[in-house]
Amino acid sequence: MNPWNHDVAKDEKDLIDVQVDGVWMQMPRGLNVVEVAHRSKKFIPHYCYHPKLSVVGNCRMCLFEMGTPKMGPDRKPILGPDGKPEIAWMPRPQIGCATGVTPGMGIRTDSALVKDCRNGVMEFLLINHPLDCTICDQAGECKLQEYSVEYGTGESRFVENKVKKPKNVDLGERIVLDDERCILCSRCIRFSSEVGKEDVLGFVNRGSHSTLTAYPGKRFDHPYSLNTVDICPVGALTSKDFRFQMRVWFLKESKSLCTSCGTGCNITVGSREGKVHRLTPRENEAVNSQWMCDFGRLNFHYLDSKDRLTRPLLQAAGQQFPGTWADAIQRAAEGLKKVKPEEMAVVASARLTNEELFVLKRLLAELGVTRVDGVQNLGQADSFLRSGDGNPNSRGAELLGLSSGGRKFSGWGEEIVSGKIRGLFVLGGENVIPAGISASALAKLEVLIVSGILQNETTRAAHVVLPAAASAEKTGSMVNVHGRLQRMTRAVAGPGEAREDWMILRDLREACTGGNSLHSVEDVWKAMSMEVPAFTGMSWAKIGDLGVQLESSAQAVPSITS
């Protein structure tokens, strides 16, 4: 089975005639009825079926009425006035997930028989289900709630005591299980086995007492475990991080990118009143399918860290003190012009967006600075989604000619000590001390300007600190390790006086050289698409929500260091 696309083996060109609710149409041979209904703009409710997992057919919610062509004495289909086969309907419903379409098949998704049977299934599913919707994290995105309204009867004939199952079970480092809510769809079991390649979860006991649990001696600590919270159709599996934090209907959802590694998983940022509460994967078959790792999913709490830089800082007499943006930009511009271009070095972080790197490139070209490179950040690669590149935009930095993968940066410490480098401009919140430049070397610099998100050893040594926006607080584009150009949109505003780096660089460029013709991200992109060969012909709108694969032959522009 392929976890990226369960239907990858089906030949989309091998089409057959299928009747869906009285309308004949062509569908790929062997496609299951749930998917056929979806392509027909119909909907068959389902719990256990998931397009990325194997079919088990145990929830029985995806019932439909099936028909086959009527056959004449000559064993040929009897044709109706429209030239299509007449349908003989079966007296009992079938499950759509485990039924593949065949030539001439008839499908009824909303007949009286189907409605009656779905009502019965919903009644059985709710027999032992607790009435704790008011405190359930899944409320607002619960398929059990939605289907009970749409396809249930609104009442129950069950008068016996409900079966009590375990509640608040510590299933793993990041997962809590409320077993009494589980409807035994087995999605989580199949995910851990088929996608996660680790058999951890299973059912024990029988009948009404069947219970989801981890195998003896095992915990569900898989690095992709939180994907089971996404695919759980009810509130059985919940994230410890998000549990009881926020009602989902209060969240504003913004389309963005995960910036924890070079894969660039597509995500949805859930925020309310300027605070990010969760990150969830957004479907993109070209990048991350419907999944993301737990590390990337939880890597947003730094946005509210007490170490966030919220105001510009200026240094005087060895001490840093808050200043205005006007003073900070002026002091930074004076520092950049104070040092000769050949004595200035710039850390062009691959954590910056393409737009921010482009404005930086223009500034450096106008100043005549040629010593520029990024910092190599190694990630913990796995065989699924996590990349060994810990930077989200290394490819974009290379395409813009601002990075050689950190190869030139490694020798800057020695050049600072020898006096060849007297000024350093660090962007993207990079901490250059653990990256190879000692604190004693930084102390020798005449000019140290740092744009960052969090306080670190480098910002504490800086003469000018410019507070920058984090990934959830900015709009821009990046190119992942596979050469896919993607864009992100701002979900929340930065704290205090923090600004997006392209704005900081725009103002700094104006203070240094007087150049300022870029007033929006779209303006930056338009100018960049005319100068960077890899982006030629691209527009901000054309990138779209799912990104664009750049041509494999796209070359980086000549580096300003070459």
Angle at 293 between CA 291 and CA 294, to 5 degrees: 125
In angstroms, the CA 21 to CA 18 distance is 10
- Kindly state whether residues 323 and 279 are assigned to the same domain: no
Domain boundary residue among 281, 304, 327? 304
d(CA 232, CA 220) in angstroms, rounded, equals: 15
Contact criterion met (CB below 8 Å) for 201 and 229: no
pLDDT of residue 557: 57
Question: Distance between CA 202 and CA 188 in Å, rounded?
Answer: 9
Q: What angle do CA 288, 97, 90 make, to 5 degrees?
A: 160
pLDDT score of 422: 95
Rounded Cα gap, residues 189 and 50, in angstroms: 12
Q: What is the CA radius of gyration of the chain?
A: 29
196 & 256 share domain: yes
Domain boundary among 304, 337, 354: 304
Residue 142 located in a structural domain? no
Q: Rounded distance, CA 356 to CA 451, Å?
A: 12
Which pLDDT does position 513 carry in this prediction? 85
Interhelix angle 325-338/501-513, rounded to 10 degrees, is 60
- 155 within a domain of the structure (yes/no): no
DSSP of 324-354: -HHHHHHHHHHHHHHS-GGGEEEE--TTS-H
Q: What's the maximum distance between 2 C-alpha atoms anywhere in the chain?
A: 103
Instruction: Please give the single-letter amino acid code of residue 134.
Output: T
**Joined tokens for residue 231:** 């695919």
457: alpha, beta or left, given left = phi > 0 and alpha = psi -120 to 50? alpha
Dist CA 145 CA 134 (whole Å) = 11
Average pLDDT for consecutive 10-residue bins of the chain (562 residues)? 43 85 92 95 95 94 94 86 88 94 94 93 91 89 91 85 91 94 95 94 92 93 96 95 94 96 96 96 95 96 96 92 96 94 94 95 93 89 93 94 82 91 94 90 94 95 96 96 95 95 94 81 90 89 93 58 44
pLDDT at 208: 87
* Residue 61 and residue 180 in one domain: no
Structural domain boundaries, residue 367: 313-549
399 and 482 together in one domain: yes
Res 559: pLDDT = 57
Instruction: Tell me: do 322 and 464 sit in the same domain.
Output: yes
- 316 three-state secondary structure: strand
Whether 179 and 275 share a structural domain: yes
Instruction: Based on the fold, state whether residues 341 and 435 are members of the same structural domain.
Output: yes
Identify the sign of the CA torsion 127, 132, 137, 141: positive
- φ, ψ of residue 6 to 5 degrees: the values are -65, -25
- Does a structural domain hold residue 153? no
Evaluate whether 560 touches 364 at the Cβ level (below 8 Å).
Answer: yes
Same domain, 354 and 374: yes
427 Rama sector, left if φ>0, alpha if ψ -120 to 50, beta otherwise: beta
For residue 43, give the CATH number of its domain: 3.10.20.740
Domain total for the chain?
A: 3
CA distance linking residue 7 with residue 14, whole number of Å: 13
Residues 272, 321 share a domain: no
Between CA 531 and CA 230 the distance in angstroms is: 41
Residue 273 and residue 350 in one domain: no
User: Are 357 and 297 in the same domain?
Assistant: no
Q: Are residues 320 and 290 in the same domain?
A: no
Cβ contacts of 20 within 8 Å, gap of 6 or more? 36, 37, 40, 42, 107, 109
Residue 460: predicted pLDDT: 95
